[in-house]
Amino acid sequence: MIDSAFLIDPYPFYSRWRSRGPLHWNEDFCDGAWLLTDYADVASVLRDARYSVRRAGGWANSSGPGATTELRDFKRIFARSLLFVDAPQHTRLRKVMSAGFGPQAMLALAPQIQAIVDALLDRITELAETASPHFDFMGDFARPLPALVMAEMLGIDACDRAEFVAWSDDIAEFVGAPTPTMDIALRAQAGAVAMNGYFLELLPQRREHPGDDLISQLLAAEAGGSIISTKELLAQCCTLLFAGHETTRNLLGNGMLALLQHPDQWRNVIEAPALLRPALKELLRFDSPVQYTGRRLRVDVEMHGRTMKKGDLVIPLIGAANRDPAKFTEPDMLDINRNQGAHLSFGLGPHVCIGAALTYLEAEIAMRTTMRRLPGLALADDTHVWGNNAAYRSLDTLPLRFTPFEFRQVCRTSLP
Ligand code: HEM
């Protein structure tokens, strides 16, 4: 999983593993882990309470000797994150957090997302008028957009974006490393500590001057009955900042690349914008931004004739499950009209992604506006570069071009 061929295209690897059986013990993955490739197994593990999400500690400890003490701060911060706590603590925290992700909250956020998307596209089109109609979709659009949206949602200063994106990237590098080194782990810890410190300073200000942002809502919940402690609240702020953009930018990047590599389907979406929602579902299935997650067994479990022991790490390979031929016919084909049930890209069960509605909203606004404002959009060349994270499948760069002349025509006739 650290092989560059795997990072460029993991799907032939999953297919080979599946052909050898649905359950694999991998000695190297975080000091040993069970890898699951089949849709049915991945779905059932994600729903099953015998598989605990309390794995942050074990993950950190696999970074080498001394990790138990050296990574104490990382474990302390993330041990309270929604992602790493089981019921009943998880049920209580999830209830508090869910209020910020309901339909009302999404409705209020939509115009702000539109304004951010428009401002980013303004910069791209302005540059095209003076320089060239080429740009890097990742650097100029997909990378800043979710970070700016998270800043808006949490009510934090967008000027600090570069810092919190860097902290998040360091955390993601660690979480996404099948064989993390102590260096990677320490960088992630420094990111988590910096992020925690950032929110620690922010909370008193927000307590004094509450706004209509998510942090103020969480503080109101804390004040309303201590159902969330300050330490828990800090952990959720860090989790949201991290989870909210490491993933969405990869949906935008991976999705845009897949669509532009299938120009007939790209044209279909442009001509019938109602296809955008089903297209996003298919893009999530086709190239999942989160390729795997992890669980730790609370008890011994028999699966496919083998015994997985209490305490073992289990890795449900979401990316492999989404390409399981037993669930999806011709799984390696992109088909925006596919209607074969749910992908697992947002997970399943009690820990299913809390940000799924926000992701769809953001991606729909981003894709729709990009199609309208950048006519003739196409791959500039084939020099896109994949990042080196096995869990968070991401493009580092995606060079695109468009037709600025048509852009000016469209502006004159249809933009307000
Ligand atoms: C393309 C976008 C996204 C993808 C593919 C994605 C994927 C996932 C997956 C697979 C899980 C489950 C992890 C597990 O079971 O171990 C998850 C959980 C979570 N996601 Fe997302 N996510 C995305 C966007 C977002 C956004 C925009 C936010 C927040 C603003 C977010 C916040 C969270 C949180 C807080 C959890 C933990 C939920 C819980 O444990 O109860 N995600 N996400």
pLDDT digits (tens, 9 = 90+) for 180-204: 788 888 998 899 999 999 999 999 9
**Mean pLDDT comparison of 73-87, 90-104, 300-314, highest-scoring range:** 300-314
Residue 217 Cβ contacting ligand 1 at under 6 Å: no
Distance 102 CA to ligand 1 centre (A): 15
In this predicted structure, what is the pLDDT of residue 249?
93
- How far apart, in whole angstroms, are the C-alpha atoms of residue 129 and residue 112? 26
Structural domain span for residue 322: 4-414
Three-state DSSP class for 321?
A: helix
C-alpha to C-alpha distances, 123 to 27, 100, 119, 182, nearest whole angstrom: 48, 30, 7, 40
The closest residue, in CA terms, to atom 31 on ligand 1 is 355
| The two three-digit tokens of residue 69, written as one number | 């003490």
The closest residue, in CA terms, to atom 27 on ligand 1 is 244
Distance 403 CA to ligand 1 centre (A): 36
Residue 377 Cβ contacting ligand 1 at under 6 Å: no
The answer to whether residue 280 scores a pLDDT higher than 90 is yes
What is the rounded end-to-end Cα distance, in angstroms, of the chain? 48
Confidence of residue 260 (pLDDT cuts 50, 70, 90): very high
| The two three-digit tokens of residue 259, written as one number | 């669509």
Helix (H) / strand (E) containing 260: helix 248-260
Number of compact structural domains in the chain: 1
The closest residue, in CA terms, to atom 41 on ligand 1 is 351
In this predicted structure, what is the pLDDT of residue 242?
81
For residue 392, what is the domain's CATH number? 1.10.630.10
